[in-house]
Amino acid sequence: MTRPFTSHRAALALLPLLVAGCAAGGVGTPAGITSPAPATGANTQSWERAQYPSTYRRRPNPPVLITNATIMTAAGPEQRGSILLQDGRIVAIGPTLAAPAGASVIDGTGKFVTPGLIDDHSHLGVYAAPGTFGENDGNEATNPVTAEVWAEHSFWPQDPQIPLAIAGGITTIQVLPGSANLIGGRSAVVRLIPARTVQEMKFPGAPYGLKMACGENPKRVYQNRGPSTRMGNMAGYRAAYISAEEYRRKWDTWLKGRKGDPPARDLKLETLADVLRGKILVHNHCYRGDEMAQMLDLATEFGFKIRSFHHVVEGYKVADLLARAGTAASVWADWWGFKMESFDGIPENAALIQQAGARAIIHSDSPEGIQRLNQEAAKAMYSGNRAGIPVTREQALRWITANPAWALGIDSVTGTLEPGKAADVVLWSGDPFSIYSRAEQVYNDGWLVFDRNDPARQLKTDFNLGQMAPGVGR
Amino acid sequence: MSAMIRCGAAVLLGLIGTRPLTAQTIAITNATVYPVSGPKLDGATVLIRDGRIAAVGRVVSIPAQARRIDGTGKVVTPGLVHVQGALGLGVGRALAEETDEEYTAIGGTTDGEHEGDVSAAFNVLAAIDPNAVAIPVARMGGVTSALTMPTSGLIAGQAVLIHLTGQHSADMVLLTPAAMVADLGDGSRSAGGGSRAGALARLRALFADAAILRRRRADYDQNRIGQLSAPADQLEALYPVLDGRLPLYVNANRQSDIENALALAADFRLRLILRGGAEAWRVAGQIARAGAPVVLDTRDNIPSFDGLQARSDNAALLREAGVTVILAGQDPGGQMNLRFEAGHAVRNGLKWDDALAAITVAPARAFGLADRLGTLEPGKVADIVVWSGDPFEFSTAAELVFIDGAEMSLKSRMTELRDRYKTLPPSY
């Protein structure tokens, strides 16, 4: 087909100051809000009210016991045994477990179980299929700094790419604005479940992310008005955060006494001020190693942290700097050569980042790649091992589960198979690091959202109906 | 930029496998051999002599002077043939169709472009750079030959099949032209005045006029026939296509576009190869009856209005219907990932043997090189890969790659970068 790669390869930068762990399950409070508690009523102002809160509700599902499977927890060695899911949680993992009343018992012989996969770099829903101008909602490419836009306000829950990703074992994604802008806007962390609204999918308690982008994309998009150089890019970030510092100071001062009129509300600066407060995690599209070093200095200048660089094609050149900064690296397994700043991509990138002690993540940034995140991790793991860089299977699994969960600030809820964590679970037909294996069942917060053997458990979006090929997750 | 390219080329000179000055005799022994022309052979020997395959079998007499390679535990296949891309055009990965400005921003990688939407006389050969960094990278994935294609237009021009080795582009050529590249998908609507129906009408007119020009050349030279739909040199370039000597390689994804391509080929008796084929599975029987091979990208299951009914098991469904399936996509990691495309197709129902054929003998046959490439049979060119295991698995590596019987270096700019930064900080 002639779908060109969309021009939104981007990365995120993260803030280090994490919001405290999210409440497990249930509906949490929306993160990233400056007021102490959402208020309602005629005497309140917009900024005091809940800002587009999650309406997510866990769906009921009978208890599920998967027996005699190879369980890859991403939090310890692989083990042969059983795993019990109940009321949306992982209840137990052990050699043998008793099935509670009413449980579905699944023979996992020869099969593998992993945590639900997490893609911290997706544009599903904002660059939806079928890829027309009408749904090209990922880049507000009208100004180099658009911190005021929120990806969730573009997100289309009927994107027919969503069922394909679910069939690949993905349970949670970060939806990012594109990379046209220096500062592209807020991300949304959503559970991949059938839903009518993005609010129903928003991961309760997940902090917002902020998309920033280095390098070629902003300077290309804005070459006629500026920035048109990397130094112009840097000046643009700095100007924006200088304004944000002033805005934060004004508001923080006013909030202490609440005397007189509050400062004027500015959506752009409100988001950036929350970055400075550590409430919003920075996700920074950045390819070149030297440029990441510049961004780390920028973060130091303004007192925030970059949670994860994204794409990080030259991460292997500065992996020690990333480790020291505590900044994760979200990478493709082996993409390279599609533009100058991707020229030095190598398949051992993730392994070398891991070896240096930095947190490696395999991301997709692609509606095709998101269907095979486990395979991209496998490719990167074996490429590293062949070059003599030790990467364990557990580490490689963490690249697509626990590590992205950390990058999104939801690692206390999901990302590993441990009792008490959300029942985000994939049952694979075989070793998830083999090219021949497929996700057979996907549980999202305990809800069976995909079953390869049950057409009734294969989501068809509205767009699928009456015009798309039968069978999902083909 | 140009300075950088020159520098890169200088570094690479030492890496590119060159033809041996004296032909070697090589025996790969006790391996699991997939000749593709026949069933798998366990414990078999492949004998290479003078750049050709001399023998394949369980009992092969090995000349005393032969270099012996112990193939115990290894898998041997023909070199892989990648037939959708722009390998060698420019410095980067330079896959075809990546015309988005983000990708063309890397200057000098788009030598597949040609002004105008009918470029039948345009041949990419002179633009092929034997020092392109993507070539040794592709070899790392066991790819030994590739179709290098012009990029865009109703008729984009002539593609060339190259061997992935050689000091000069002329050394690399296996077949030129190897195909006439055309497009009946969404991308050609503008060539049809905004409609794919117009694009089809223009394509038909071009072939009709090419036939008229050939028949009435004297009248044409004396201005005794009306205006033709393209200049004479463009129409002349279509003669081998009209003769069925040169395949017409047509991008078509919608069922209706595929059917239009089949009808065009039937009416003009053209040798058709379909590319894209998102909805090909819907008309698999028709395609099989027409004998047209289909080149698929197994990653492509994303619905668009150029192919709403794309599906991952397309290859399996086509094969079941008797269609010759060829796998060649545009993986963002480059041609080196071709073997994984075959693995994806197996995961989605294609038989393993058919998947191997789809990246070896099927493309060789479709583009007219079956007498030289695509199988391990005596007399064929010794393009051979020794794998550490199942070639479709991530855990497997191409350990030895032979082209024309010469062992290729498996180093590349990628491995140089990796080795420089294996320990940080690097010692520059």
Backbone angles phi, psi at A351, to 5 degrees: -65, -40
Residue B427 within any structural domain of the chain: no
Please name the residue of chain B whose CA is at the shortest distance from the CA of residue A375. Answer: B394
DSSP string, B302-358: --BTTBTT--TTHHHHHHHTTPPEEE----TT-GGGHHHHHHHHHHTT--HHHHHHT
| Structure-block tokens of residue B173 | 């050529």
Q: Give the per-residue pLDDT at B113.
A: 73
Query: Where along chain A do its domains lie?
Result: 11-457
Given CB atoms, is A460 within the 8 Å cutoff of chain B? no
ipTM, interface predicted TM-score of the complex: 0.91
Same domain, B278 and B357: yes
**Nearest Cα to A251, choosing from A238, A237, A242, A261?**
A261
pLDDT score of B91: 60
Rounded to a whole number, what is the distance in Å from the CA of A433 to chain B's nearest CA? 8
- B84 and B222, same structural domain? yes
**pLDDT by residue (tens digit) across A300-358?**
999 999 999 999 999 999 999 999 999 999 999 999 988 889 999 999 999 999 999 99
Find the radius of gyration of the CA atoms of chain A. 22
User: Whole domain around residue B323: which residue ranges?
Assistant: 80-373
Residues B174 and B280 in one domain: yes
**Which chain A residues are within 8 Å of B311, Cβ to Cβ?**
469, 471, 474
Question: B45: which 2 tokens?
Answer: 């020997």
Determine the residue of chain A that is closest to B101 in CA distance.
Answer: A7
DSSP string, A342-354: GTT--TTHHHHHH
The total of other beta-carbon atoms located within 10 Å of residue B267's CB is 11
The DSSP result for B42-105, as a single string, is: EEEEEEEETTEEEEEESS-PPPTTPEEEE-TT-EEEEPEEE-SS-TTBSSS---TT--SHHHHT
What CATH number is given to the structural domain containing B49?
Answer: 2.30.40.10
A337 contact B CB<8A: yes
Residue with tokens 């090995």: B62
**pLDDT, tens only, A245-266:** 999 999 999 999 999 999 999 9
Q: Is residue B417 part of a domain?
A: no
| CB-CB under 8 Å, A4 with B304 | no
- Strands A170-175, B248-252: pairing is unpaired
Per residue in B231-242, pLDDT (tens digit) is 999 999 999 999
Please report residues of B whose CB lies closer than 8 A to that of A336.
93, 332-334, 414
d(CA B193, CA A162): 35
Rounded distance, CA B76 to CA B58, Å? 13
A320 contacts in chain B (CB < 8 Å):
424-425
Average pLDDT, chain A: 91
Structural domains in chain B (count): 2
Residue in chain B lying closest to A162 (CA)? B302
Chain A residues in contact with B300 by the CB 8 A cut-off are 1, 368
Q: Is residue B419 part of a domain?
A: no
Q: Residue A24: pLDDT above 70?
A: no
Q: Does B32 touch chain A (CB under 8 A)?
A: no
Provide, as residue numbers in chain B, all residues whose Cβ is less than 8 Å from the Cβ of A352: 418, 421-422
Chain B hits for A463, Cβ within 8 Å: 303
Do B200 and B284 belong to one domain? yes
Give strand pairing partners of A117. A170
Q: How many CB pairs below 8 A link A and B?
A: 180
Claim to verify: residue B128 and residue B151 sit in the same structural domain: yes
Contact (CB, 8 A) for B337 and B44: no
Whether B418 maps to a domain, the answer reads no
Mention every residue, 6+ apart, whose C-beta is less than 8 A from residue A474.
A167, B301, B311, B312, B313, B348
* Confidence grade of residue A472 (pLDDT, cut at 50, 70, 90): low
C-beta atoms of B417 and A334 within 8 A: no
Task: Give the distance from residue A1's alpha carbon to the nearest chain B alpha carbon, in angstroms.
Answer: 5
- Tracing tokens 């050149």 back to the chain, one arrives at A317
> Residue with structure tokens 């223009």?
B202
Counting Cα atoms < 13 Å in the Cβ hemisphere of A346 gives 26
Element (H, E) at A299: helix A289-302
* Nearest CB to A1 within list B101, B281, B304: B304
> What percent of chain A clears pLDDT 90, i.e. is strictly above it?
87
CA dihedral angle for residue A336, residue B250, residue B293, residue A335, rounded to 10 degrees: 10
Query: Same domain for B161 and B305?
Result: yes
Q: Best residue in B104, B308, B318, B396 to probe A by mutation, most A CBs within 10 Å?
A: B308
Same domain (yes/no): B316, B256: yes
Cα-only R_g, chain B: 22
- Report CB contact under 8 Å: A367, B302: yes
CB within 8 Å: B302 and A3: yes
Q: Are residues B117 and B175 in the same domain?
A: yes
Q: What does each C-alpha distance from A209 to A158, A410, B160, B332 come to in angstroms?
A: 23, 12, 47, 26
| Å between A78 CA and nearest CA of chain B | 18
Instruction: Identify the bridge partners of residue A330 per DSSP, sorted by sequence position.
Output: A310, A361
B333 touches chain A (CB under 8 A): yes
Q: Which residues contact A367 (CB under 8 A, 6 or more apart)?
A: A123, A124, A127, A129, A161, A164, A165, B302
Architecture of domain A11-457: Alpha-Beta Barrel (3.20)
Establish if B159 belongs to a structural domain.
yes
Tokens of A342: 């991707």
> What is the model's pLDDT at position B94?
39
| Last-in-domain residue among B358, B373, B388 | B373
Task: Tell me the C-alpha to C-alpha distance, in Å, between residue A384 and each of A387, A465, B414.
Answer: 5, 43, 13
In this structure, are B124 and B252 located in the same domain? yes
The whole-angstrom distance between A429's CA and the closest CA on chain B is 11
- Render A415-446 in DSSP notation, one character per residue: SS--TTSB--EEEESS-TTSTT--EEEEEETT
pLDDT digits (tens, 9 = 90+) for A179-224: 999 999 999 999 999 999 999 999 999 999 999 999 999 999 999 9
Look at residue B50 and tell me if it is in a domain: yes
Q: What is the pTM of this model?
A: 0.92
Q: What is the pLDDT of residue A43?
A: 79
Q: What is the pLDDT of residues A286-305, one digit of tens each?
A: 999 999 999 999 999 999 99
Nearest CA in chain A to B297: A1
Residue with tokens 């017409």: B248
Burial of B211 from C-beta contacts in 10 A (0-12 / 13-18 / 19+)? middle
Same structural domain, B14 and B52: yes
Evaluate whether A111 touches A440 at the Cβ level (below 8 Å): yes
Let me know whether B365 and B340 are in one domain: yes
- 8 Å CB contact of A1 and B97: no
One domain for residues B226 and B366: yes
Residues in chain B, pLDDT under 70 = 1-23, 90-110
**Out of B95, B313, B426, whose CB is closest to A474?**
B313
Give the number of other Cβ atoms within 10 Å of residue B33's Cβ. Answer: 27
Q: Which residue of A has its CA nearest to B308?
A: A468
Nearest C-alpha of chain B: how many angstroms from A104?
27
CB A72, CB A374: distance < 8 Å: no
Does B93 contact A7 at a Cβ distance shorter than 8 Å?
no
CB < 8 Å to B100, chain A: 4-7
pLDDT at A8 over 50: no
Q: Are A337 and B92 in contact (CB under 8 A)?
A: yes
User: Which ranges of A7-113 does DSSP label H, i.e. alpha helix?
Assistant: none
Confidence of residue A20 (pLDDT cuts 50, 70, 90): very low
- How far apart are the C-alpha atoms of B105 and B79, rounded to whole Å? 32
Distance from CA of A222 to the nearest CA of B (A): 13
How many angstroms separate the Cα of A184 from the Cα of each of A139, A142, A298, A459?
A: 7, 10, 17, 31
Angstroms from A376 CA to nearest CA on chain B: 9
Helix %, strand %, coil % for chain B, to 5? 30, 20, 45
